[in-house]
Structure 1
Amino acid sequence: MYEDFASKLAATMWADFDETPRRADGPPAEITDLNTMVIDGNFPWTIVTVETDKGVTGIGEAYPSPGVHEIITDYLRPVLVGENPTDVERLYNLMRESLSGRGSQEGVGTIAISGVELALWDATGKLLDQPVYQLLGGKVREEVAVYADCHAGEAMVESAKEGQEEETYEPEAYAKAARAAVEDGFDIVKFDLDVPSGREIDTLSRHFDPAEIDHKERVVAAVMEEIGDDAEIAVDLHWNFSPETAERLCRALEPYDLAWIEDPLPPENTDAMRELKRRVNATILTGENRYGRHGFRDLIEDQAVDFLAPDVPKTGGIAETKKIADMAEAYYQALVPHNIGSPVATAATAHVGATVPNFVALEYHAREVPWWEDLLARETDFIQNGRIQIPDSPGLGIELDWDVVEQHRKE
């Protein structure tokens, strides 16, 4: 009798194991197509769409990169069509496996996967009638701060258009751009410091002489004098300096108590970054050229920087960025995500910021694009007074105005 019961139990367990797991009422939808289009903004914003058989379309965005369209349509589309779009974690790993050996760990492969992942979250939220932040565990804040990247601010762009390029990178132009951003309500403004000074220098050496250091300091001093305590000031060095130059520049800027100094060294060498942080009294930020939690692990474990800057549609997507934030929280590091995208990438980053405690601000890099807000089908601006109120609508909580998209679509 015992043997009969055991054999029946084993047979039942094997049958359950052998059967593909399904929800009681079946999957809520199936993916029918994936595609991309490019909006011709200040960067080529690559919009990704995931179509489903329920009439729901998920909208995502991939970081601007050649080859993204081909990877999504030629490699990822055959893998995902017919799959359940709400199984985001499984499909993320499926995409990585399908591109194994073709760049799924970093680079353009990860970028393509990131764009699809954003669209999957948007589709899932719409199908389940929940905002993405709720699917990630809920909000820890109602709004996220946004900082203004001003290196292409109005003052500099207009002066360049008027044939005054030699004045574009002078301290006074930065001060005017900073004041304009502060008047728009931003509490943090950022400028590039790896910019021409009017002198001929050998940039390949990554070395700056004292006169170049002085030019960068004068830029910061002019901005500080203009806005004072009205906003914090950050600067971006774009990986263009050697350790000795980065150290001298950081020391020259120490009196200004900057919000952060971004990417002072090339992105590959964590040891060099940690040593620089040890030697200077400055808040150091990096991360836009790292991919996934594995790419951030040594930065976090070695505490090589203060702030981390993953780019959501580049580093792996929404869930992967949240995992990076969770790792960083264990070491008391904060997120300041990189973002050069359209409102789609911006909304996705805002949902991450709503769900993790160690979030400072996300980047807004399109102040010179007057129709950026027009891309959204909504009555009010998405960014108001340097803040984004987290949308409560299903998915990412935004919808594109496809007529405006078509006006700025790039073939």
Structure 2
Amino acid sequence: MYDDFASTLAATMWADFDEQPDRDGPTAEITDVNSIVIDGNFPWTIVTLETDQGVTGIGEAYPSPGVHEIITDYLRPVLVGENPLDVERLYYLMRESLSGRGSQWGVGTIAISGIEIALWDAAGKILDQPVYQLLGGKLRDQVRVYADCHAGEAMVSSAAEGQETATYEPEAYAKAARMAVDDGFDVIKFDLDVPSGREIDTLSRHFDPPEIEHKRSVVEAVTDEIGDEAEVAVDLHWNFSPETAERLCQAIEPYDLAWIEDPLPPENTDAMRELKRRVDVTLLTGENRYGRHGFRDLVETQAVDFLAPDVPKTGGIAETKKIADLAEGYYQALVPHNIGSPVATVATAHVGATVPNFVALEYHAREVPWWDDLVARDEPLIRNGRLEVPDAPGLGIELDWDAVEEHRKRS
């Protein structure tokens, strides 16, 4: 039923999208689209796009329930038979085919994002060009990567064998910071919306002075340990009210943090802009925004300093580049959010290589020892806090499918 519906809808929409353009160059045809989930520290949803040229494009969709069903039941029938080189046309076709079903915001956009990345990978392989070249060429050969660090239970599980540390105490964060910096990262980030050991009502988003002091002491411990060896950022995960966020920002202002991420819930740009007006710190947000239209008010009102689109979530590679281009007109910088596998990470690196206002790319899998094993290459992707942008066609990496199968999520 879904196949018939989607096929009929796609045929109807050609009146808006015109016929497939004539071309003298390479052509191909999509024969299948599917997805599998790798059981990492997040459920990494890998998208595969098969073509009649024997080329398989790989992409990644942000972890979300329902993505596989949208890809296979709604988007596969729309795409099979299409030319994967028409990446932009197919992006808009997918959006139209899911109109009213989340193509503007939410899980529908996430599914589209994963396929869009796979389309770029397939197109690059067919044209024998890296994705960054298809986007207009690179401005930098490598991108800066920042390490998302943890303390508490996450630190205990990733620390050296036999090492124990106090959960959520400032000293634990200092040790985690030292480990990341010793690994070569010169930008690190910590979650600051963490338990202090006191019983509080977190739903109110109001934190009393002792809670603010706990957060301040964590920042102090980390910055004292690291000094000027690395920049330090913190993530608040939308868990603070405007008055509490203001007090917290003022409390940690003396530590000159690289940025303070998501201090307020994501829906209200006016509240974020007002917070920015009242504090003297660098603010970042964006992982819960979709597409350039979802970022427009953040950019036009200059409500934050840094923007954090998530490539497998916000619309894909080209859409993220358009967000960066929009932001560049207002001198805002890009610090992409990323909790993904090597596929999402490399896809984001291609964007970061092609826009001038890129600062750093998040890496959120230091506690996953087999993260690099997913890629069929001998050297790790990230070395000394940098990722060399691959020059091979497409995304420039291939998955080790034996490793993927070993870590595949079983239902």
**TM-score strictly above 0.5:** yes
Shift of 1:164: 7.1
Aligned residue number for residue 144 of structure 2: 145
1:21 aligned onto 2:26: no
Aligned residue runs from structure 1 range 9-408, under 5 A: 21-24=21-24, 28-151=27-150, 155-157=155-157, 167-408=166-407
SS in 1 for 2:383: coil
Q: TM-score w.r.t. structure 2 length? A: 0.93
Larger radius of gyration: 1
One-letter amino acid matched to 1:238: H
Q: Secondary structure, in 3 states, of the residue corresponding to 2:58?
A: strand
SS across alignment from 2:47: strand
| Cα displacement (A) at 1:55 | 0.4
Shift of 1:158: 5.3
Superposed CA deviations along residues 232-267 of structure 1, whole A, max 9, x for unmatched, are 000000000000000000000000000000000000
Q: Is the 8 A contact 1:303 1:331 kept in 2?
A: yes
Structure 1 residue 162 displacement after superposition: 8.2
Which string of whole-angstrom CA distances, capped at 9 and with x for unpartnered residues, describes residues 87-123 of structure 1? 0000000000000000000100000000000000000
8 Å CA contact 2:151–2:172 kept in 1: the answer is no
Report how far residue 19 of structure 1 moved: 7.4
Q: Which runs of 4+ in 1 moved over 2 A?
A: 18-21, 152-159, 161-165
1:156/1:169 contact within 8 Å kept: no
- 1:48-104 deviations in Å (ceiling 9; x for gaps): 000000100000000000000000000000000000001000000000000000000
Q: 1:151, CA displacement in angstroms?
A: 1.8
The Cα shift of 1:157 comes to 3.1
Secondary structure in structure 2 of the residue aligned to 1:314: helix
What amino acid is the match of 1:410? K
Which amino acid in the other structure matches residue 23 of structure 2? R
The CA deviation string for residues 163-216 of structure 1, in whole angstroms up to 9 with x for no partner, is 979x22110110000000000100101000000000000000000000000000
CA contact (8 A) 2:365 2:371 kept: yes
Cα distance, 1:20–1:390 mapped onto 2, change above 3 Å: closer
Q: Report the CA distance between 1:156 and its aligned residue.
A: 3.9
Secondary structure of the corresponding residue to residue 284 of structure 2: strand
Counterpart residue type for residue 155 of structure 2: A
Separation in structure 2 between the aligned mates of residue 241 and residue 233 of structure 1, nearest angstrom: 20
Q: Secondary structure at the match of 1:173?
A: helix
Root-mean-square deviation (CA), in Å? 1.7
Q: Do the aligned partners of 1:114 and 1:314 also contact (CA within 8 Å) in 2?
A: yes
Aligned pair in 2 of structure 1 residues 152, 288: CA closer, same or farther (>3 Å)? farther
Q: Secondary structure at the match of 1:181?
A: helix
Opposite residue 394 of structure 1, the aligned amino acid is: P
Q: Which runs of 5+ in 1 are unaligned?
A: 1-17
Query: In structure 2, what is the Cα distance between the partners aligned to 1:190 and 1:106?
Result: 27
Structure 2: gaps (5+ residues): 1-17
- Aligned residue for 1:328, secondary structure, equals helix
Q: CA deviation at 1:339?
A: 0.1
**Aligned partners of 2:366 and 2:171: how far apart in 1?**
19
**Scaled by the length of structure 1, what TM-score is found?**
0.93
Instruction: Name the CA distance, whole Å, in 2 between partners of 1:332 and 1:295.
Output: 18
Identity rate of aligned residues, in percent? 82
What amino acid maps onto 1:57 in structure 2?
Answer: T
1:271-317 deviations in Å (ceiling 9; x for gaps): 00000000001000000000000000000000000000000000000
Matched residue of 1:148: which SS?
A: strand
